[in-house]
Chains A and B, each alone.
Chain A
Amino acid sequence: MAIPFSYTAKNLLARRLTTLLTAGGMALVVFVFATVLMLQEGLRKTLVETGSPDNVVVTRRSSGTEVQSGVDRTQAGVVESQPEIALGADAQPMLSKETVVLITLPKRGADSPANVVIRGIGGKGKALRPQVRIVQGRMFKPGSAEIVAGSSIADRFEGANLGDNLRFAMRDWTVVGVFDADKTGFDSEIWGDADQLMQSFRRPVYSSIILQLNDMSRFDSLKTRLEGDPRLTVEAKRESVFYAEQSEVLANFIGYLGLTLSVIFSIGATIGAMITMYASVANRTAEIGTLRALGFRSRSILTVFLAESLLLGLVGGAIGLFFASFMQLLTISTMNWQSFAELAFSFTLNPAIVAKSLAFALFMGLIGGFLPAMQAARMNIVDSLRAP
Chain B
Amino acid sequence: MKKHQPKLPKFGDWLLKLLARYDVNPHLRGDFDEEFSLIYETKGFVKAWLRYWTHLLRSLPFFIKDILYWRFVMFINYLKTALRNFYKNRSYSVLNILGLAIGMACCCLFALWVFDELHYDRFHEKSERLCGAVFDLYVEGGKWTINNTPALLGPALEQEFPEVVATTRYQSYGQVLLTHGETSSFERGIYLVDSSFLKMFSFPLISGNENTALSNPNSIVISTDFAARYFPDENPLGKILTLNNKHELMVTGILKNAPHNSSLTFKMLMPFKFYEGLRRQQGDPFGWRENRPMTFIEIQDPGMAEALNLKIRNFVREKANDDTAHQFSTVPLEEFRFSPYYGGSGRATYLSIFSLIALFILLIACINFMNLSTARSANRAKEIGMRKVVGANRINIILQFFGESLLLSFTAMIAAIILVVIFLPTFNQIFGKDLPLSILGSGFVPLVFIGIALLAGLGGGSYPALYLSAFKPVMTLKGNLKSRGKRGMMRKVLVTFQFVLSVSLIISTVVIYRQLDYIKDFNLGFDKEHVVYIPLRAGSGESYSVLKNKLLNDSRILSVTGASHLPSYIGTNDRRAKWDGQEKENETLIHISWVDYDYIKTLKIELLEGIDFSRATPSARTTGFLVNEEMIKLMGKDKGVGDRLEISRVNGKILGVMKNFHFLPLNYQIPPLVVKFNDQRPSYLITRISAHNISASIEFLKETWKTTVPAYPFEYHFLDSDFDRMYRDEERIGSILKSFAFLAIFVASLGLFGLASFSAEQRTKDIGIRKILGASVPEIVALLLNEFMKCILLANVIALPIAYFIMVKWLQNFAYRVNLDPGIFVFSCLASLTIAIFSVSYQTIKAATANPVDSLRYE
The finding on whether chains A and B are genuine partners in a shared complex, rather than unrelated, reads no
